[in-house]
Amino acid sequence: MRKKIAAANWKMNLNLTEALQLIQSLDSHLKQLKPNQQVILGVPFPLLIPVKNLISNYKHVDVAAQNCYSKLQGAYTGEVSPSLLKGLNINYVILGHSERRDYFNESNDFIKEKVALALQQQLTPIFCCGEALEIRNANNQNDFVKNQIKESLFHLNAQQISQVIIAYEPIWAIGTGKTATSLQAQEMHHFIRSVIAEKYGVACSENISILYGGSVKANNAFELFNQPDVDGGLVGGASLIATEFNTIIENLI
């Protein structure tokens, strides 16, 4: 049975005091998670250890780095390697987020290198893919997303890809207030699963959690998460608001 996951992406938000207050406000919901449910908090680098310490008593809660570099060490000022993260007992890392692709010009090949190195260091990548509005309007979203997956993940073997969490984030629905309909989300998630199945087999594809990441909120989480191929969400702004994120956690099915 694949995991149902509420993954928070705090982006460049919250100081330590605010993080503590937020986690305290999530306390009762974090305690009630079932074995097939998980909450992952993607926090800024300076908060990784403090937040990991804060959530250490919860059974099904962990933290994720929001990025890592494609080298293990060297003269790369300001970067953080997968080995440094693993040395801090970090288990998850978000890779290929649309903001990294857009603002920092990260290519599919560059993300491929990071995915491979993260897995080598026993980190679980949360691999992001998704199309911009002009690609959706041209009805080319399937080819575009398939190419992202093919160029960044298809170097992996079946055992390796089974460790990856995929997050579909339609760029046109991030921070815009727009959200893919539950049908649009289901169609793309089903397509992504079929792409994995074509390469690695149905059994492998059925065990990979695929999250939806585009303006997930309390008022749409149930409908989105109720789709057969949607296994939870990668949540941005709503993950910073305790009442919103608590409701999102409640709707993990």
Range of the domain at 207: 4-30+37-250
Residue of 106, 131, 169, 244 marked active site: 169
Question: Alpha carbon of 49 to those of 43, 52, 110, 133, 185: distances in Å?
Answer: 10, 5, 27, 37, 34
**How long is the chain?**
253
Q: What are phi and psi of 107, to 5 degrees?
A: -90, 165
CATH of the domain at 164: 3.20.20.70
Q: Nearest-5° angle of CA 28, CA 97, CA 185?
A: 70
- Which residues are registered as beta bridge partners of 38? 5
Q: What is the pLDDT of residue 144?
A: 98
Q: What is the pLDDT of residue 215?
A: 87
> How many CB atoms sit inside 10 A of residue 142's CB?
16
In the block, tokens 């933290």 appear at: 63
User: Per the structure block, which two tokens stand in for 219?
Assistant: 């008022």
Considering its fold, how many domains does the chain have in total? 1
Handedness of CA 78, 120, 122, 93 (dihedral sign): positive
Question: Is 189 an annotated catalytic residue?
Answer: no
- CA neighbor of 185 nearest in space, from 231, 153, 135, 137: 231
Element (H, E) at 5: strand 4-9
Q: What is the pLDDT of residue 174?
A: 77
Q: What is the pLDDT of residue 130?
A: 97
pTM (2 decimals)?
A: 0.97
Q: What is the pLDDT of residue 180?
A: 82
Question: Is 206 an annotated catalytic residue?
Answer: no
Q: What is the pLDDT of residue 177?
A: 67
How does pLDDT run across 154-205, given as a tens digit for each residue? 999 999 999 999 999 999 887 676 778 999 999 999 999 999 999 999 999 9
With beta carbons less than 8 A apart as the criterion, state whether 187 and 170 touch.
no
Mean pLDDT, 10 residues at a time, over the chain (253 residues)? 95 97 98 97 98 96 98 98 98 97 97 98 98 94 98 98 97 77 96 98 97 94 97 97 98 92
Question: Alpha carbon of 169 to those of 104, 145, 164, 207, 252: distances in Å?
Answer: 17, 10, 16, 20, 18
Q: Residue 220 carries which DSSP code?
A: T
Residue of 97, 106, 131, 244 marked active site: 97
DSSP letter string, 60-119: TEEEEES---SSSSSS-TT---HHHHHHTT--EEEES-HHHHHHS---HHHHHHHHHHHH
Q: How many CA atoms lie within 13 A of 77 on its CB side?
A: 0
